[in-house]
Structure 1
Amino acid sequence: MRLTVLGGCGVWPEAGQACSGYLVEHDGFRLLVDCGYATVPRLLAHLSVDDVDAVFISHGHPDHCADLNPLLRARALRDDRPPPLPVYALPGALDAVLALDRPGMLDAAYALNEVSARDLDIGPFRAETRLLPHWVPNAGVRLAAGGRVLAYTGDSGPNADVVALARDADLLVAEATYVREVPEDSVGYQSSARDAGRQAAAARAAQLLLTHLQPGTDHEAARATARGEYDGVVGVAAADVVVELS
């Protein structure tokens, strides 16, 4: 299993970067996990839109799903359209982004599969989803294939279900919008690098990749804070970071 980061910025993309988007590959299958602002240009640096086999969207905030619109446009607005792209998301999560164009314009480009807190198969991946706390419904996901496991939180406050989702995972990709302290108005709905480190340690995950850092955050400070809570390998998600799980 291989993870390629297309973007890991929270809220909006920094120069040369993109918001949440991760290409997860196994056995020739290419799964795009989240598709936030500016991820499609980063995706096109690696493969064509026709090469994406499926998309999983954690939740409906635009820094996680806005670029689903250009991805579907690139598949729909041409004479040689590829087959409908399987898109997995919580009920209603994509209503806003799918309504950006006139009704029906993109219908042939995708097949929407609504998910809930259950297991499902996406290509070679066994996917376990859990609802994790955020301001809108958010599905964390655990992807297993070839004896390897990747867990992703989407956006989430610290929660026992994050630990369960990441239990003994080879890699936990965890939201860490803040470095140490989460502002009072966001407590329970977002996490810090300190929170991510604590939860990676509790889950006994082999590696931790911090993501969704607020633009302008000192990456080394975030990494050092997580390391204060967790003894494993800690990285920060940025465009073109690759993690091989083998």
Structure 2
Amino acid sequence: MRFTVLGGCGAWPAAGQACSGYVVEHEGYRVLVDPGYATLPRLLELMRADEVDAVLVTHGHPDHCADLNPLLRARALADEPAPALPVHAPPGALDAVLALDNRRMLAGSFALHELSPGTPVEVGPFRLDAFDVPHHVPNAGLRLSGGGRVIAYTGDTGPSPELIALAKDADLFVAEATYPERVPEEDAPYLSSALDAGRTASSAGAARLLLTHLWPDTPAEPALAAAARSYGGPLSVASGGLTLDLG
């Protein structure tokens, strides 16, 4: 299983970077996770638009889903339109981004599937489990299993006991870490720190921790130092172009 980072900025893309966006590959099947702002150009450096096999979206904030629109345009407006792209997301999460074009423009370009926590589904060679974790809008933590490997991803989330189950014994735990140590009081129920991510990774027994969704133009070092206070395993920050081969 291979994991590639397209971008990891929270809120908006810093110069030369992209917001949340990841590609998971296994047995030749390619899953795009959270096509946030500016992720499509980076994706197209790796593959054609019609080579994406499925899309997973954790929630409806545009820094996690805005580039679904140009991806669907690239597939629908090609000389030979691609087959309908399976798109999995929480109910209603993509209403706004799918409304950017009229129905005729994107007709037949996607097949929308609602994520249901507690009900695993098959996505190509993967088993997908969704977890209901807290954010300003409905957000699904995602756990992808395949070939004896597990990747767990929080989306954006505040504190929740569900996070331990999401990350349990994961080979890679991709965790939102907007702030290094302390989340401002008004956002504390809905966002996490790198320190929080480290604690969760340690409690869950995750083999590797990847911090993502850092505030744009902030250095990685404070986040890494905070997470290392509570987590002793391999640790890094999501940056465009990073690829991890999980075997």
User: Aligning the two structures, in what range does the TM-score lie when normalised by the shorter sequence?
Assistant: over 0.9
Q: Which segment is superposed worse, 77-86 or 30-39? A: 77-86
Residue 108 of structure 1 aligns to a residue in which SS? coil
CA positional deviation for 1:107: 1.9
Contact 1:138–1:155 (8 Å) recurs in 2: yes
Compute the TM-score of the two structures, normalised by the length of structure 2: 0.98
Contact 1:158–1:199 (8 Å) recurs in 2: no
Q: Give the match for residue 241 of structure 1.
A: 242
CA distance in 1, matches of 2:225, 2:190: 23
Contact 1:127–1:141 (8 Å) recurs in 2: yes
CA positional deviation for 1:79: 2.8
CA positional deviation for 1:158: 2.0
CA positional deviation for 1:102: 1.8
Q: Give the match for residue 149 of structure 2.
A: 148
CA distance in 2, matches of 1:24, 1:16: 22
Q: Give the match for residue 79 of structure 2.
A: 79
C-alpha RMSD of matched pairs (Å): 0.7
Q: Give the match for residue 221 of structure 1.
A: 222
Identity of aligned residues (%): 61
Amino acid at match of 1:176: A
CA distance in 1, matches of 2:237, 2:245: 15
Deviation readout 1:14-39 (Å, 9 max, x if unpaired): 11110000000001000001100000
Amino acid at match of 2:108: A
CA distance in 2, matches of 1:168, 1:223: 21
Deviation readout 1:214-240 (Å, 9 max, x if unpaired): 012220111111011101011100100
After superposition, residues 177-192 of structure 1 pair within 5 angstroms as: 177-192=178-193
CA distance in 2, matches of 1:170, 1:232: 11
Residue 79 of structure 2 aligns to a residue in which SS? coil
Q: Give the match for residue 16 of structure 2.
A: 16
Compute the TM-score of the two structures, normalised by the length of structure 1: 0.99
Amino acid at match of 2:102: R
After superposition, residues 194-233 of structure 1 pair within 5 angstroms as: 194-233=195-234
Contact 1:56–1:87 (8 Å) recurs in 2: yes
Q: Which segment is superposed worse, 217-226 or 38-47? A: 217-226
